[in-house]
Amino acid sequence: MSHQFKTIIEPFRIHSVEPLRMTTLEQRQEAIQAAGYNLFSLRAEDVLIDLLTDSGTGAMSRDQWAAIQHGDESYAGSPSWFRFQEAVQDLFPFKHVIPTHQGRAAEKILFTVLGGPGKVIPNNTHFDTTRANVEFTGAEARDMVIPEGKQASTLHPFKGNIDLQALEGLLSERAADVPVVFITITNNSGGGQPVSLANIRAANEICRRYSVPLFLDACRFAENAWFIHEREDGQRSREIAEIVREMASLADGMTMSAKKDPFGNIGGWLAVNDDALADRCRNLLILTEGFPTYGGLAGRDLEAIAQGLREAVHPDYLRYRIRSTAYLGNALDAAGVPVVKPIGGHAVYLDALTLLPHIPPLQYPGQALSVALYEVGGIRSVEIGTVMFGRQPDGTEKPAAMELVRLAIPRRTYTQSHIDYVVEVVQQVALESATLPGYRMVDEPPSLRHFTARFAPIR
Ligand SMILES: *Cc1c(COP(=O)(O)O)cnc(C)c1O
């Protein structure tokens, strides 16, 4: 009989290391003040543990670096393109694969074709760039996650599910105004929560009835498939790749950021079945990204992604990935720090509204918490709350559904001792939480304001 050990073993060992730079409290206070209290404006070298995002920040494998040497930089019809296309279609058998330099480029192209004033695009929860690209065309981006998905501490195995009743309600009234329905797997802006196969299947059935295409924003497809494997009835015996193929078979197309589950440092794609839609998208692609066999990427990037896709669905990796994220979340939960539960796939989300009840939403409790995590321990996180989502298309400002701080875990990058340190720092900040100030925005850009806004503490 084999023994069950509880320590999470990283299914890799370290082959090349990067130094981290230690800083003092005073240096960090100075750096964050100079950055206008915006974590995006820090120099990365002034950060000790960088949990700003899991996007493009993961470690590539030996086999990915080897694949990069096979990169063929032919302008058209490169063998790297065909390897990329084959790897994508092996998991997502859509007829047309259109490579882009990032996920948002795929969004920009698709919504330029499908969006426009008077249109409504539903999604469980739009990611920030998705919402911005929808709204930029004059269309409305409407979030319709199930009610449990908006309550930080309510347990539900698939808190990312789209609200089927709300979807049916919208389509029964205005199907002609809905050019596409989106489901984001996992639901990034809603706590990294998964969507069940049953929910995608039911959404597919509703969309069929109203003849509206269903698309996946599939950035974390492998983590979502792992949750389905672990939590959904009858899925335990299936291979992860098989579950991914079934998710894809229920959709008419997808957008993708290869900087997430595919282990790329850059890249993305748009995939569709519809020939006419593919033609219109490719015409825009040539205008903004490049020729359809490279789409803004170097041949070596295409190779790295093709290899990354194979690694992303390996069960040893996914077991480690999901368990190590839960390790951080559960340790914080046990220490009494309010977190979104259950713990999601790629990140742990702190509930700033509960931790900082003295700071009202329009004084940005999430921003206050993320600044404190940086000052106290050099940890960089990101606010996902009113700073990110509070500005309305009509110019008013209103509180977001939740005030979260996301600790995103780059793939295969930090060890358990780095994570133990993060737990200690968050606990220290929680102890001092009553003394943290709120913030006001002193400089605000017209869209995606969280990236470049400047703040001042309200003392
Ligand atoms: C990252 C992300 C995007 C955008 O991808 P980029 O590569 O950053 O442009 C879109 N949707 C979701 C859910 C994401 O996580």
Write the pLDDT tens digit of every residue in 344-398: 999 999 999 999 999 999 999 999 999 999 999 999 999 999 999 898 888 899 9
Supply the pLDDT for residue 190.
80
For residue 123 and ligand 1, the question of a CB distance below 6 A is answered with no
The secondary element (H helix, E strand) that includes residue 382 is strand 382-384
Quick one: 176 and 243 in the same domain?
yes
Quick one: 242 and 339 in the same domain?
no
Quick one: 76 and 162 in the same domain?
yes
Q: Which residues are paired to 406 by β-bridges?
A: 349, 382
Q: Which tens digits make up the pLDDT trace of 57-113? A: 999 999 999 999 999 999 999 999 999 999 999 999 999 999 999 999 999 999 999
How many helices, marked H, and strands, marked E, lie in the chain?
A: 16, 14
Quick one: 120 and 156 in the same domain?
yes
Domain of 343, in residue numbers: 25-54+314-458
Determine what percent of the chain is predicted with pLDDT higher than 70.
Answer: 100
Rg of the chain, C-alpha, whole Å: 21
**Best residue for ligand 1 mutational test, from 188, 257, 389 (most atoms within 8 Å of Cβ):** 257
User: Which of 293, 312, 331 lies at the terminal end of a domain, its last residue?
Assistant: 312
**Lowest-confidence range among 189-193, 240-244, 429-433?**
189-193
3 is a domain residue: no
Whether residue 2 is predicted with pLDDT greater than 90 in this model: the reply is no
Q: Which has more pLDDT, 154 or 381?
A: 381
Quick one: 217 and 101 in the same domain?
yes
Supply the pLDDT for residue 1.
64
Supply the pLDDT for residue 339.
95
19 is a domain residue: no
Quick one: 49 and 142 in the same domain?
no
Q: Quote the crossing angle between the two packed helices 240-249 and 221-231, to the nearest 10°.
A: 110
Quick one: 177 and 287 in the same domain?
yes
Quick one: 369 and 306 in the same domain?
no
Distance of CA 107 from the midpoint of ligand 1 (Å): 9
For residue 193 and ligand 1, the question of a CB distance below 6 A is answered with no
> Mean pLDDT across the stretch 177-191?
93
Averaged pLDDT score across all residues of the chain: 96
Quick one: 372 and 232 in the same domain?
no
Quick one: 329 and 272 in the same domain?
no
Supply the pLDDT for residue 290.
95
> Mean pLDDT across the stretch 148-155?
88
Q: Which of 34, 125, 27 is nearest to 404 (CA)?
A: 125
Quick one: 224 and 119 in the same domain?
yes
Determine what percent of the chain is predicted with pLDDT higher than 90.
Answer: 92
Distance of CA 328 from the midpoint of ligand 1 (Å): 23
44 is a domain residue: yes
